[in-house]
Chains A and B, each alone.
Chain A
Amino acid sequence: MKILVALKQVPHQDARLDVNGDGTWIKEDGIKFEINSYDTYALEEALRIKDAGEAEVVVISIGPDRVTQALRTALGMGADRAVHVNDDALVGSDSLGIAKTLAAIGKEESPDLVFMGLMSDDGNASAVPPMVAELMGLTSATGVLKAELSDGNVRVERELEGGALEVVDLPTPALLAVQSGLNQVRYASLKGIMAAKKKPIDVKTAADLGVADAVGSGGAKVKIEKVYQPPKGDGAELLEGSTDEIVTGLVNKIKELGLL
């Protein structure tokens, strides 16, 4: 059994975000990066299948040099090998360009299962996983909170609104985009990190994968024109001063509301 996991490296959730010079994305220098939160759950789910039986887990990521760190972490957690698409030609790609690149690797690998995250914490697109499934000709489900494998089938519980669930049967190979919280994610052990140093990371370019025309700003069908701080609306009245003054302000408000 072969399982692919696509993971994206994104700015750390607590990173300070400043808009870049031309106003089209954030300044990346000086900030910390981490594996996209949803993708850690995707990787964990794949590793659990490996722990329970026999599976090769291959992690794939598209991004610049810094992504090596994310892949090393994934290998340290237990993935077997990694594919890193590292090519400046991919800068400015839209979701479809990223999906075509991942699908090209997917077709080379022909996995039994593909795990991805429901959404990236930076672009918040929730686009790539169903696109990859369509391009690879796989069935798919998003928002997955449970995946039960049996012969040639995966029974999936996907999250709906308000905590309701939808149960769906998908014949494998299938692609699952997981929702946060479906498992508790392991840490890479020291031993795992040492072992990861010997695991292979295969580096590829867009041309290697035959997707050069589909990627980058040239291949993109949609374009981010500008990124900016959301305009401040009416917003909250802010209480300032010492902790005592702030607390007095809060207590007065609660009294005014008739709740004290």
Chain B
Amino acid sequence: MSTLIVTEIQKGAIREASYELVAFAQKIGGDYASLVIGSGVGDLATAFAGKGGGKTYVADDASLADYNVDGYNAAIQAAVAASGATTILVSNTPSGWDVAPRVAAALDAGFISDVFNHQDGNFVRRVFNGKLDAQVSAGGGTTVVTVQPGAIAPFEGSADGSTEALSVDTSGARAKFVETKVAEAKGVDLSKAEIIVSGGRGVGDPEKFPEVIQPLADALGGAMGASRPVVDAGWLPHEYQVGSSGQVVTPKLYVACGISGAIQHLVGMKGSNFIVAINKDADAPIFEVAQLGVVGDLFEIVPALTAAITAAKG
């Protein structure tokens, strides 16, 4: 039993999520090795090897400077062959979820995605957008596993490690990286708001945002936010979106109205100082991160709350 940790470089450094994979590999038990992919990344690999990465393979090639699905696929497969690993750990990030299933298919291996724990020999993950948990077992063969960033504390110690250069043939790569576009700064900067009142798909209707959600935000002197389906439907512009693909916010008070609490939303707001959730489903996962909850109809609670706040302010 041995594990291969596929690290990821972001803004010139190995991501925190890669150190979480080290902790995850240690939790699974057995030997592990690591892989660093990039161009001119020898020093990063040496440092990682000494900070828990163990034996670290380095796929260093000019063609791997930017993420490319075909090149990364080839690099990971080369490292699996060199290490003889039977469990391959990849972070569930935009590049991880892009390449990991391809590696699994190429190796005719099992695949388990977005796991947040390893328990009783099984991998634990969320299904139905956070409404249920599932324990999944890997069969006897090779298994590729993607791990949810932030789910487990990163390994922070140091240990003996070494590096080994890995030659990768990327000549067959067809996908071509063109450029990265950073998110444009827009009018609404939720990251500075002290109070945010957010509405989700449960608000049900674009008109209800100015009628129900915005007035509570105004009464509290705060800003309005939203979950992704609200933005996808075109009810509000992207700048209102809170979550992994929107803004990460940490207000003093976050009020979630009609939001179920899928992990991608939680990532964007669970650092708030105090969270209030209003949802008619008592089992909604949002209640797990909220300090105060109301199981009920937002259309009853929110307008009444707005009136009470306005009255209290005099």
Within the assembled complex, what's the spacing in Å between the Cα atoms of A114 and B32? 37
**Of B38-46, B57-65, B297-305, which binds chain A?**
B297-305
Assess the A223–B245 pair: CB atoms within 8 A: no
Q: Cβ of B157 < 8 Å from any Cβ of A?
A: no
Nearest CB in chain A: distance from B23 CB, A: 20
Interface centre among A163, A170, A171 (most CB of B within 10 A): A163
Assess the B232–A130 pair: CB atoms within 8 A: no
Q: Cβ of B27 < 8 Å from any Cβ of A?
A: no
Given that A96-B111, A124-B127, A230-B288 are known contacts, is A162 also in contact with B246, CB under 8 Å in the complex?
yes
Q: Cβ of B250 < 8 Å from any Cβ of A?
A: no
Assess the B133–A247 pair: CB atoms within 8 A: no
A to B contact number (C-beta, < 8 Å)? 260
Dominant SS among interface residues on chain B: mixed
Q: Cβ of B79 < 8 Å from any Cβ of A?
A: no
Interface centre among B127, B252, B277 (most CB of A within 10 A): B127
Assess the A238–B294 pair: CB atoms within 8 A: yes
Q: Cβ of A243 < 8 Å from any Cβ of B?
A: yes
Given that A99-B105, A134-B105 are known contacts, is A223 also in contact with B292, CB under 8 Å in the complex?
no
Assess the A166–B137 pair: CB atoms within 8 A: no
**A111 — which chain B residues lie within 8 A by C-beta?**
none
Q: Please count how many residues in chain B sit with their CB below 8 Å of the partner chain's CB atoms.
A: 94
Assess the A236–B180 pair: CB atoms within 8 A: no
Q: Cβ of A224 < 8 Å from any Cβ of B?
A: yes
Binary contact readout A106-133 vs B (1 if CB under 8 angstroms, 0 otherwise) = 0000000000000001111111111111
Assess the A180–B69 pair: CB atoms within 8 A: no
Give residues of chain B (248-305) contacting chain A, Cβ–Cβ below 8 Å. Answer: 248, 252-253, 273-277, 283, 285, 287-288, 290-296, 300-301, 304-305
**Of B48-56, B138-146, B205-213, which binds chain A?**
B138-146
**A51 — which chain B residues lie within 8 A by C-beta?**
none
Assess the A221–B143 pair: CB atoms within 8 A: yes
Assess the B127–A123 pair: CB atoms within 8 A: yes
Assess the B177–A222 pair: CB atoms within 8 A: no
Assess the B176–A168 pair: CB atoms within 8 A: yes
Assess the A226–B129 pair: CB atoms within 8 A: no
Q: Cβ of B109 < 8 Å from any Cβ of A?
A: yes
Assess the B134–A251 pair: CB atoms within 8 A: no
Q: Give the A-binding residues of B (Cβ under 8 A).
A: 67-70, 73, 93-94, 97-102, 104-106, 108-114, 122, 125-139, 141, 143, 174-183, 194-195, 201, 220, 228-229, 231-234, 238, 241, 244-248, 252-253, 273-277, 283, 285, 287-288, 290-296, 300-301, 304-305, 308-309, 312-313
- Besides A121-B128, A164-B181, 20 new A-B residue pairs in contact (Cβ under 8 A), listed by A number: A26-B128, A125-B113, A130-B98, A130-B100, A131-B102, A133-B102, A134-B101, A134-B106, A141-B98, A158-B94, A161-B245, A163-B245, A165-B180, A184-B234, A221-B110, A221-B143, A227-B135, A247-B301, A259-B194, A260-B312
